[in-house]
Amino acid sequence: MRSLAALALVSALAGCLPGQQVVPDPSAAPGEALLRVDIPSRNASALLKRAGSNGDVETWISPDNVSIALRQGVVVATRGLGFDMMGGDAGNTLAALAAPGGGVYRRQMRYLTGDNHSTWIAAGCGMKAGDGRFEERCLARRDRFTNLYWTDGAGRVIRSRQWISPQVGQIDIGRVAR
């Protein structure tokens, strides 16, 4: 049984290696919701399964234990990427996604420094809406980034491109139907 689990893990890890194709997780049940995550800066992709939820925050995990926490589709934390977002406030982004005209607001994200201390990045952001696609432009210290969100008819985020950190850059997230 251990060798079967090891083989499945090795196969799944191949989906996260730079330049490799996504390998479906053999433990995913038919019909189970999956997220496809692409990290363009690393030329890497993986399929993540839903690991659990805490209120309106869902945590998704890859076979090699990289995880992403999403609050209604907005990234609030990552683990296993290196230079992870330890926590992020999604409230103002979610309010802007729900507002017909978008808005201007502040967004905060927390990171660990090399000496294991917390540091915050505060960004000034603006949201522009356009027919199911939202563009969030932010300026934080020396970093400028644009997050994109696509929503369904009910206003749920179904696909996005979101900035994680200066070192990781942006990741693409999309729901996969099985």
Kindly write down the DSSP assignment for every residue of 51-105, as one continuous string: EEEETTEEEEE-TTS-EEEEETTEEEEEESSSS---EE--HHHHHHHHSTT-EEE
Gyration radius of the chain's alpha carbons: 17
Residue with tokens 């696909």: 159
pLDDT at 178: 64
pLDDT at 20: 41
Q: Look at residue 18 in the predicted model and tell me its pLDDT.
A: 43
Q: Strand 74-79's sheet: what is its strand order?
A: 74-79, 67-71, 57-61, 44-54, 34-39, 169-176, 157-165, 143-151, 133-140, 118-130, 103-112, 87-88
What is the pLDDT averaged over residues 5-19? 37
The pLDDT tens digits for 39-72 are 999 999 999 999 999 999 999 999 999 999 999 9
- Confidence at 30, pLDDT banded by 50, 70, 90: low
pTM of the model: 0.82
Q: Is 90 a residue whose pLDDT tops 60?
A: yes
What is the rounded average pLDDT of the residues 127-147?
92
What pLDDT is attached to residue 162? 98
